[in-house]
A and B are shown apart, each in its own frame.
Chain A
Amino acid sequence: MDNKTRNIYLIPYVLWIVLFVIAPVLLVLYYSFFNVEGQFTFENYEKFFTPVYLKMTVSSFWYAFLITAFSLLIAYPTAYLLTRTKHKQLWLLLIILPSWINLLLKAYAFLGIFGTYGPANALLEVFGIGTQQILFTDFSFVFVSVYIFIPFMILPIFNSLEELNPSFIDAARDLGASAWTTFRRVVFPLTLDGVKSGCQAVFIPALSLFMITRLIAGNRVITLGTAIEQHFLVTQDWGMGSTIAVFLIIAMAIIMILTGNRK
């Protein structure tokens, strides 16, 4: 295929990228320099560095970190067990299946489960702990987020474990390594790429969560995602919303570079 025909095939892709990726990012950047009255200004950026927004940023990162950490903690052993099961494709499908259901539906389902008269509290009653406030807490927010994101963590780790040459494990054992040492010095380092892409796939969207913060955390957890949504839909301050979005995009780019594959 010569260059010309290749370029023709590239057109739809380039169009897509320009229209739906580059143009929106530029628009966001453009809007971030205007205030509510429509005047050109830097005051949005000044406002971002006030304690209110910085606190939001810190809490966004903190919750995204918690969600990623718990996802990883659960996903790695799960993926490891999955590679050892007989019908691994079936089990994998069962894990991926919930991610096909609309996020909003799942969030509402948890409203029912964690509600005062929901099954979670009923269970606590049985154990004699008594009804607790589960909804609208940090716990429920992190729990539901982990539930929603975990397939995206399991998949890349599962794939990298599957690709791992089993003779590396034999070799490590052969050289005297115990099961734990084999994991620590061979299996984990060689599946690090899967862990990295899993963390990317969880951490980055977790940074800008807003619907779960609102439904499950009852707006008690305010993240940058919530702030953007509020500015665009409630206060109509598109400029400030765009400014926060600019910072989120920068943060995401930095994370991508940091966790990117060096080889």
Chain B
Amino acid sequence: MSEHTIIRFEQVTKQYDDDPAVLDNVSFEIERGKFYTLLGPSGCGKTTILRLIAGFMEPSEGKIYFNGKMINNVPANERQVNTVFQDYALFPHLNVFENVAFGLRIKKMKNAVIGEKVKEALRFVNLDGYEAREIREMSGGQRQRVAIARAIVNEPEVILLDEPLSALDLKLRTEMQYELRELQRRLGITFIFVTHDQEEALAMSDEIFVLNKGKIQQSGTPTDIYDEPINRFVADFIGESNIIPGKMIKDFLVEFDGKQFECVDQGFDPNEPIEIVIRPEDLEITGREQGKLQVRVDSQLFRGVHYEICCYDAEGNEWLVHSTKKATVGDEIGLYFDPEAIHVMRFGETEEEFDKRLEAYDEGSHGQ
């Protein structure tokens, strides 16, 4: 464990009665000062991890460490973390000032100190001068900021954010994404952010943990996860993707759609069945003959930034293309892509094996 580690989960399982585990033997480390995102569909266990860190529940098995100390049995009010709740959970009987001051009052700070700290926290979230407002007079976005101010004013080591942007409209949400990221950089506190919105996760995080069915599927930087998804679930959940079954003929040569293509992946068994991923934006529309693949345009949607074009090849595989160029429905077109655009996924590979394979061929390429 490095000195940067602030939170460590060691084979943590959370289970109710005989139901399938909400969290299944999960281990990970969180480093100080970074922005982490727990990403996954509802019921994947992301909120459970948050509640375990906050101390609202105890793990059924395994150990949770905070700053090197096991905190399994430490009650929530004695933990150095603060939470921004999904519904904000601002106390309706207290005004903005008293909501933010709540934690400080419990620490029995002097009134003058409290006044100063609350003012500073509110300035941090751009809510100067809102001290005397009642919570019900605040808009969704403002409540969100109060909730953040209430958390940061306590100067915790870690802030937990449970889908805090889900109740906001799109424009405000994008704005708050920038603000949150900016805030995290200025404060230098560890943020652990829970969301089911992959765009949000990609835009804000230093590290993303993709979760499904109580297990961490993959962890890494946003680009790692986007460019090199470990399996079908991750590829499908993060962004749009074309996932096609195929066969790895040998290193750097993959077969799908009845043809062989040059690629950059290696370390597979000869003729191993695999799945390949090509992102829709990596596909380029060309004339039928210039394309590496020949497809027929089935439908087209204008998405503003690009056209979303749905095509089918002769084998019946669906190909999704994002292009700024328009296509004509019913046309036979060609699709061109670079060898780097193909990402090959092994069936049932764990994150550890995946990392080892990637490392191995990093070394391999250095050797060349």
Contacts and interface: CB of A to CB of B under 8 A. Distances in A.
Contacts of B93: 189-190
Given A181-B106, A189-B93, A190-B92, A174 B87 contact: no
Interface string A155-187: 000000000010110111111111001000110
Among A173, A174, A176, A189, the most chain B Cβ lie within 10 Å of the Cβ of: A174
A172 B75 CA distance: 12
Interface residues on A, range: 10 to 19
B56 A177 contact: no
A174 B56 CA distance: 8
Contacts of B75: 173
Interface string B152-185: 0010000000000000000000000000000000
B154 A176 contact: yes
Tell me whether chain A's interface is mostly helix, strand or loop, or mixed.
Answer: helix
Among B55, B78, B102, B107, the most chain A Cβ lie within 10 Å of the Cβ of: B102
Nearest to B76: A173
Contacts of B130: none
B77 A178 contact: yes
Among B56, B77, B78, B86, the most chain A Cβ lie within 10 Å of the Cβ of: B77
Contacts of B90: 171
A175 B150 contact: yes
Contacts of B237: none
A186 B107 CA distance: 16
Contacts of A176: 77-78, 103, 106-107, 154
Contacts of B86: 167
Interface string B44-58: 000000000011100
B106 A174 contact: no
Contacts of B92: 190
Contacts, number: 58
Given A168-B91, A190-B93, A175 B85 contact: no
A181 B55 CA distance: 17
Interface in A39-66: none
B44 to A, nearest CB: 20
A78 B54 CA distance: 29
Among B56, B78, B83, B91, the most chain A Cβ lie within 10 Å of the Cβ of: B91
A178 B108 CA distance: 13
Contacts of B56: 170, 173-174
B85 A171 contact: yes
A182 to B, nearest CB: 8
A174 B91 contact: no
A174 B76 CA distance: 6
A189 B56 CA distance: 22
Interface in A166-214: 167-168, 170-178, 181, 185-186, 189-190
A186 B106 CA distance: 12
Contact of A170 (B76, B106, B150): B76
Contact of B91 (A173, A178, A181, A186): A186
B212 interface: no
B82 A165 contact: no
A175 B106 contact: yes
B54 A174 contact: yes
B89 interface: yes
A178 B92 CA distance: 20
Nearest to B90: A171
A93 to B, nearest CB: 27
Among A173, A178, A181, A189, the most chain B Cβ lie within 10 Å of the Cβ of: A173
B277 to A, nearest CB: 39
A49 to B, nearest CB: 41
29 contacts: A165-B87, A167-B85, A167-B87, A168-B89, A168-B91, A170-B54, A170-B56, A170-B83, A170-B85, A170-B89, A171-B85, A171-B90, A173-B56, A173-B75, A173-B76, A174-B56, A174-B77, A175-B102, A175-B106, A175-B150, A175-B154, A176-B78, A176-B103, A176-B106, A176-B107, A176-B154, A177-B77, A189-B93, A190-B91
